[in-house]
């Protein structure tokens, strides 16, 4: 456990504060190996409920799982509120951290409080000069301190402390409540005192009942029910602690203060008086039970302690003694003769022997010798298997004895509980060990390949050596594993083991191929017998033996033919004794020939014995097969694993046995033992039952293992309607050898398959509904057009799509109701509909949320992307936005939001208990309301910026607001426009320079307006189109400019007419004749005004 683990934060902070330490001191303490081990035990397991931290000499921190002894300083106690693993999610809720004093200091506090401080504070003479209420408050504080110390001391000792009422801290207060002389003449005071005492006593009784009930409800089987693997010591400690605690509780209930509580409750006729009396009765009953169980379990504990001191090879012969003590507990104990308790005890005993077996096998070191000398370890594994089977045999004999006792004495109950409840973990461990034993066995056999001689030439020898080298590589992988092979739940080892068997099968096929060709090359029996002798250690492997069977039969025939030839030769030569060599005396030659023939016969007989040894191996294999078959036939067909999931029992072993029986079916000369013959006879039925069970269990796991929260109650209802749980419980009692197994399996399989089909279809419908709902969360109600402007999609099409999918949801819901066979009024169906209704509402919420976020994302000042476009127009009343940035844009966005909510109202409500539509529920969502308000805020912000834009453009407002005729008249009179404060001014007719000034000013203004942006982006998302405004404003500027140029043109025209008529220069209006013609024409040309054709013609004349 890393020192920086988040789960340690509360402990670290409390420790640093309590002991005033630096961070570095905690880091060194938490990083130490001993601390890591203890932290792991406390945080990552359910076995420990308390953790204690204190300071040793030198201010060094120390940690432990038990309260430290002889500690005079304070101790930090970390406690769990429940037996659970501490996670990051529950660490704040499950841990209680408090600071307590060490043993001596704690005892000192209790003694000082009881004997000095509390009596002193209770003495009115001592506290007479104190402030009013100060003594009472100090007394209450000291009482709380004393009670907390007593409670903590009791908890540490595994006992339950029953606190007394605070009103009893002053003995005279109790005396005043009992004697009639007290409060004479003060009726109200007496009533107040009686009420206070009665209320305190009632509260105390309720608290006592609660605490004692918690103690009495504790059960030693809880650890097993929690999935843990307790040892028998846990059972013994539980009952010993329970007995000690109940004695302590009884002593407290018989104390003087407890009798005061009883007296007050009796005097006031309290409603809790019966509860207090029942409490006394329950404690006495619990005490009788604990004494009985603790007394009778003591011999079992002593016997197990003896076994733990023995060497492992001695255990097997002493299993009967342990089981005998368990049987005596069943017979003698009044309270322990219950199947549930004996089963728990036997499970704990099995766990103890599994633990001892794993320790004997040295765990991780078990496979180390597999590549060199596996013989010793194989003997150890065989010893463990024999020892554990001795435990099962002792249980069987003990159960038989209990049944005998039951027949002789009707008072003794039989052990009618199924044995697999006791041995399901042990059987699992045994099967695992048998797999390891087989690994060592095949390794021993294949190791001998290195010691074989040449086989039919170098080619075959190299092939065998190649097989051997590959085998060493495979074995090396197992040897180098870092996991514990004795742990049957270690999936990594099981994975490597499965891969190893695949590799061994491949090696065996290769060996069989090599040996087949070698046997084919054998022309005489002696060479074949030599092969058998060399490779006899491997020929008993089923796969190899099955492939070499034809060659071995042919070899045996060759040996028998050889013996027949020897016999024929002997009798033929015996009749014709004159055929011996003429150069050798006949008797000597006959003797020499007889010796040679004898040696030949002995050699052939040795070959025959070699082949017979194979038959012996086959006999041994037949015996092992019979043992495995007997084991299979006695095992229940199904069982539950540690996680409570249903599984086919002995599936791996059954698969191996059935495979070997398939080999047997090909041989006609092999006689089977009873169990194997029985299994062989019904192998087809068992195979069908196995396949049916595998299919059934797989379907059942898919139904129950993958159960969803929403359909859990509905599935439970269906299981109850089909009586499936009861039927499966009955199937637990069937073994592989039971009669009627196939019929029972088929019956249960049909029900499970029907349930699986129903649930699968219902879940498929739920998946379809989930996809529809998730599709709403991805639906685009709003999009951006190609010009990056807001585009509201065809709402009717979206509405129709949502409405149709809502109708499909209702249809699928009704289909599921029919599939589950649920009634409309059933609670489980209503819960299912409400869950689905929540999912629909969440999907519509995501739809609305996505659309709202679309609005906000595009109205984000940081987006710098056009979202909405408005146009600025110049009207007679001034500049205006179309549509209006105020009402118009607000109405547009409000319409969009309304359309979004309208889409959420289209699906009909799924739940029958919720009457309003989804739109009403979603409009109450604080998240959507907040987003809607944010849209309004951003609209307000852009409106303010639009108003600032209009304010900036108002500098041109005089152009369209001013009266041009009036302004021109003022110009002609005063050569300028009068200011607002000028009422009168000296008349000064304008000159050409004044006209030029005004025209130049208007030209400058025209250029300024012309350079205004065509488009302005407000608040980074509102696009304002100024082109219409610019065009209108330029038109107004041109009108002002034409006002001056038209006047000058009129002046030029008048001057030319006068010249044409040869009029006097002094005749005519002064305003028309005051401007020199030439300069006026030059001014007009400079202003870009072309003279009309008739004026140009007059000038040319």
Condensed to tens digits (0 to 9), the pLDDT of residues 249-290 reads 888 888 888 888 888 888 877 777 888 888 889 999 999 999
**Confidence (pTM):** 0.49
pLDDT tens figures, 861-908:
776 677 788 888 888 777 888 877 777 778 878 888 888 888 888 888
As a whole number of angstroms, the distance between CA 695 and CA 337 comes to 39
Mean pLDDT score of the chain, rounded to an integer? 77
Q: Which of the 8 DSSP states describes residue 413?
A: P
Closest CA to 777 of 834, 854, 837, 845: 845
Q: Residue 407's pLDDT is what?
A: 74
Cis peptide before 883 (omega within 30 of 0): yes
Structure tokens at 221: 């089987």
The whole-number pLDDT of residue 298 equals: 92
In whole angstroms, give the CA distance from residue 869 to residue 1017.
9
If one compares 256 and 1099, the residue with the highest pLDDT of the two is: 256
Q: Name the β-bridge partners of 784.
A: 790
Long-range contacts for 964-970 (Cβ within 8 Å, ≥24 apart)? Answer: 964/1039, 964/1040, 964/1043, 968/1043, 968/1044, 968/1047
Range of lowest pLDDT (102-111, 745-754, 824-833): 102-111
Q: b/e string for 1006-1019 if b means 16 or more Cβ within 10 A?
A: beebeeeeeeeebb
Q: What is the DSSP string of 329-352?
A: HHHH-SSS--HHHHHHHHHHHHHH
Instruction: Give tens-digit pLDDT for 355-404.
Output: 999 889 887 788 887 767 777 888 888 999 999 999 999 998 998 888 88
Read off φ and ψ for residue 697, nearest 5 degrees.
Answer: -65, -40
What is the structure's pLDDT at 178?
46
What is the average per-residue pLDDT within 1034-1053?
Answer: 86
For residue 640, list its beta bridge partners: 646
Can you tell me the mean pLDDT for 33-43? Answer: 85
Here the tokens at position 844 are: 């519509």
Residue 175 is predicted with a pLDDT of 46
Q: Decide: residue 666, CB within 10 A, 0-12 exposed, 13-18 middle, 19+ buried.
A: exposed
754-759-764-770 Cα dihedral, nearest 10 degrees: 170
DSSP string of 557-616?
HHHHHHHHHHHHHHHHHHH-GGGS-TTS-HHHHHHHHHHHHHHHHHHHHHHHHHHHHHHH
More confident residue, 488 or 344: 344
**Contacts of 39-42 spanning 24+ positions with Cβ under 8 A:** 39/1, 39/5, 39/8, 39/63, 40/1, 41/65, 42/78, 42/86
- pLDDT confidence of 147, banded at 50, 70, 90? low
**Tens digits of residue pLDDT in 606-639:** 665 665 555 554 565 667 777 878 887 888 888 7
**pLDDT of 676:** 76
Q: List CB contacts of 855: < 8 A, sequence separation 6 or more.
A: 782, 893, 896, 897, 931, 935
Which contacts of 1085-1093 are long-range, i.e. CB under 8 A and separated by 24 or more positions? 1086/996, 1087/999, 1087/1003, 1087/1041, 1087/1045, 1089/1045, 1089/1048, 1089/1049, 1091/1049, 1091/1052, 1092/1049
**Tokens, residue 868:** 């909405």
Burial degree of 729 (CB within 10 A; 0-12, 13-18, 19+): exposed
- Neighbouring residues of 145: CB distance < 8 A, sequence distance ≥ 6: 109, 113
The full 3-state SS of 820-864, as one line of letters, equals HCCCCCCHHHHHHHHHHHHHHHHHHHHHHHHHHHHHHHHCCCCCC
Q: Is 169's pLDDT higher than 70?
A: no
Check if the beta carbon of residue 773 is closer than 8 Å to that of residue 842.
yes
**C-alpha 534 chain-centroid distance:** 57
**Tens digit of pLDDT for each residue in 287-324?**
999 999 999 999 999 999 999 899 988 888 899 999 99
- What count of other Cβ atoms lies within 10 Å of the Cβ of residue 534? 19
Among candidates 316, 479, 311, 304, which has minimal Cα distance to 382?
A: 316
Tokens of 413: 């109950």
Are 724 and 754 contacting, i.e. CB atoms less than 8 angstroms apart? Answer: no
Residue 636 DSSP label: B
């Amino acid at each position: 456990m890393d020192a920086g683990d988040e789960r340690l934060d509360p402990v670290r902070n409390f420790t640093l504060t309590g002991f005033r330490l630096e961070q570095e001191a905690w880091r060194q303490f938490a990083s130490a190996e001993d601390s890591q081990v203890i932290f792991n035990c406390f945080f990552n397991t359910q076995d420990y409920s308390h953790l204690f931290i204190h300071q040793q000499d030198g201010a060094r921190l120390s940690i432990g799982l038990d309260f430290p002894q002889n500690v005079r300083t304070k101790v930090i106690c970390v406690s769990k509120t429940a037996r659970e693993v501490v996670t990051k999610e529950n660490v704040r809720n499950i841990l209680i951290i408090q600071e307590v004093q060490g043993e001596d200091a704690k005892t000192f506090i209790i003694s000082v409080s009881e004997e000095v401080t509390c009596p002193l504070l209770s003495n009115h003479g001592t506290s007479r000069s104190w402030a009013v209420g100060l003594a009472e408050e100090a007394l209450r504080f000291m009482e709380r301190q004393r009670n907390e110390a007593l409670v903590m001391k009791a908890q540490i000792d595994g006992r339950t402390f029953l606190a007394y009422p605070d009103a009893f801290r002053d003995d005279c207060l109790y005396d005043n409540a009992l004697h009639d002389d007290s409060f004479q003449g003060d009726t109200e005071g007496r009533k107040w005192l009686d009420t206070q005492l009665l209320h305190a006593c009632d509260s105390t009784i309720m608290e006592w009942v609660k605490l004692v009930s918690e103690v009495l409800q504790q059960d030693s089987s809880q650890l097993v029910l929690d999935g843990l693997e307790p040892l028998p010591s846990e059972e013994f400690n539980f009952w010993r602690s329970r007995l000690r605690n109940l004695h302590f509780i009884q002593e407290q209930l018989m104390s003087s203060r407890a009798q005061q509580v009883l007296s007050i409750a009796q005097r006031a006729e309290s409603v809790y008086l019966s509860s207090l009396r029942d409490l006394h009765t329950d404690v006495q009953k619990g005490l009788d039970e604990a004494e009985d169980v603790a007394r009778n379990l003591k011999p079992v504990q002593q016997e197990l302690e003896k076994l733990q001191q023995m060497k492992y090879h001695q255990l097997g012969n002493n299993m009967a003694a342990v089981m005998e003590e368990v049987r005596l507990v069943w017979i003698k104990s009044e309270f322990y003769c219950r199947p549930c308790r004996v089963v728990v005890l036997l499970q704990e005993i099995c766990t103890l022997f599994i633990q001892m077996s794993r320790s004997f096998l040295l765990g991780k070191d078990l496979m180390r010798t597999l590549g060199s000398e596996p013989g010793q370890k194989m003997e150890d594994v065989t010893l463990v298997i024999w020892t554990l089977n001795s435990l099962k045999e002792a249980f069987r004999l003990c159960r038989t004895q209990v049944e005998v006792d039951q027949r002789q004495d009707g008072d003794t109950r039989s052990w009618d509980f199924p044995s697999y409840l006791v041995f399901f973990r042990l059987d699992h461990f045994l099967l695992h060990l048998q797999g390891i034993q087989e690994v060592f066995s095949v390794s021993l056999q294949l190791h001998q390949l290195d010691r074989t001689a040449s086989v039919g030439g170098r080619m075959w020898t190299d092939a065998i050596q190649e097989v051997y080298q590959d085998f060493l590589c495979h074995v090396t992988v197992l040897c180098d594993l870092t996991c514990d092979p004795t742990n049957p739940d270690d999936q990594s080892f099981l994975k490597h083991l499965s891969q190893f068997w695949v590799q061994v099968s491949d090696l065996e096929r290769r060996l069989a191929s090599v040996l087949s060709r070698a046997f084919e090359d054998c022309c005489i029996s002696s060479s074949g017998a030599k092969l058998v002798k060399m490779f006899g250690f491997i020929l008993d492997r089923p796969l190899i033996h099955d492939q070499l069977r034809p060659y071995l039969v042919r070899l045996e025939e060759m040996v028998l033919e050889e013996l027949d030839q020897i016999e024929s030769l002997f009798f033929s030569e015996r009749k014709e004794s004159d055929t011996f060599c003429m150069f050798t005396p006949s008797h000597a030659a006959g003797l020499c020939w007889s010796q040679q023939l004898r040696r030949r016969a002995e050699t052939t007989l040795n070959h025959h014995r070699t082949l017979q040894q194979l038959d012996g191996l086959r006999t041994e294999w037949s015996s092992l097969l019979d043992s495995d078959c007997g084991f299979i036939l006695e095992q229940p067909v199904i069982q539950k694993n540690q996680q409570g999931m249903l599984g086919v029992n002995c599936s791996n072993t059954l698969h191996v046995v059935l495979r070997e029986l398939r080999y047997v079916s090909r041989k006609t000369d092999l006689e089977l033992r009873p169990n194997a013959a029985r299994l062989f006879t019904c192998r087809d039925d068992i195979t069908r039952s196995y396949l049916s069970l595998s299919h059934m269990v797989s379907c059942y796991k898919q139904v129950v293992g993958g159960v969803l929260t929403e359909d859990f109650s509905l599935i439970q209802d269906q299981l109850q309607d089909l009586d499936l749980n009861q039927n499966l419980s009955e199937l637990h009692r069937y073994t592989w050898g039971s009669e009627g197994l196939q019929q029972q399996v088929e019956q249960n399989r049909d029900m499970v398959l029907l349930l699986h089909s129903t649930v699968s279809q219902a879940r498929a419908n739920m998946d379809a509904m989930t996809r529809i709902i998730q599709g709403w969360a991805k639906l685009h109600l709003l999009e951006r057009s190609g010009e990056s402007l807001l585009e509201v999609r065809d709402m009717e099409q979206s509405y129709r799509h949502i409405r149709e999918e809502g109708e499909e949801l209702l249809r699928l819901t009704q289909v599921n109701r029919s599939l589950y066979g649920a009634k409309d009024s059933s609670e489980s169906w209503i819960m299912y509909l409400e869950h689905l209704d929540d999912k629909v509402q969440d999907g519509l919420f995501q739809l609305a949320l996505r659309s709202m976020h679309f609005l906000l994302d595009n109205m984000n000042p940081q987006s710098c992307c056009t979202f909405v476009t408005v146009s600025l127009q110049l009207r007679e009343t001034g500049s205006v936005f179309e549509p209006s940035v105020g009402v118009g844009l607000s109405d547009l966005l409000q319409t969009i939001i309304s359309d979004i909510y309208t889409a959420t109202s289209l699906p009909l409500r799924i739940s029958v208990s919720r009457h309003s539509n989804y739109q009403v529920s979603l409009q109450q969502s604080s998240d959507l309301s907040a987003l809607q308000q944010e849209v309004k805020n951003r609209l307000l912000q852009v409106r303010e910026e639009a108003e600032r834009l209009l304010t900036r453009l108002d500098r041109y407002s005089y152009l369209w607001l001013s009266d041009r005729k009036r302004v021109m008249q003022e110009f002609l009179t005063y050569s300028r426009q009068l200011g607002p404060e000028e009422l009168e001014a000296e008349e000064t007719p304008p000159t050409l320079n004044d006209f030029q000034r005004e025209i130049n000013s208007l030209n400058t203004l025209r250029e300024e307006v012309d350079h205004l942006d065509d488009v302005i982006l407000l608040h980074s998302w509102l696009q304002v189109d100024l082109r219409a405004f610019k065009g209108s404003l330029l038109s107004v500027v041109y009108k002002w400019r034409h006002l001056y140029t038209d006047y000058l043109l009129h002046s030029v025209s008048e001057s030319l007419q006068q010249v044409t008529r040869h009029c006097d220069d002094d005749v005519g209006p002064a305003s028309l004749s005051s401007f020199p013609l030439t300069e006026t024409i030059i001014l007009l040309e400079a202003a870009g005004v072309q003279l009309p054709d008739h004026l140009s013609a007059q000038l040319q004349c």
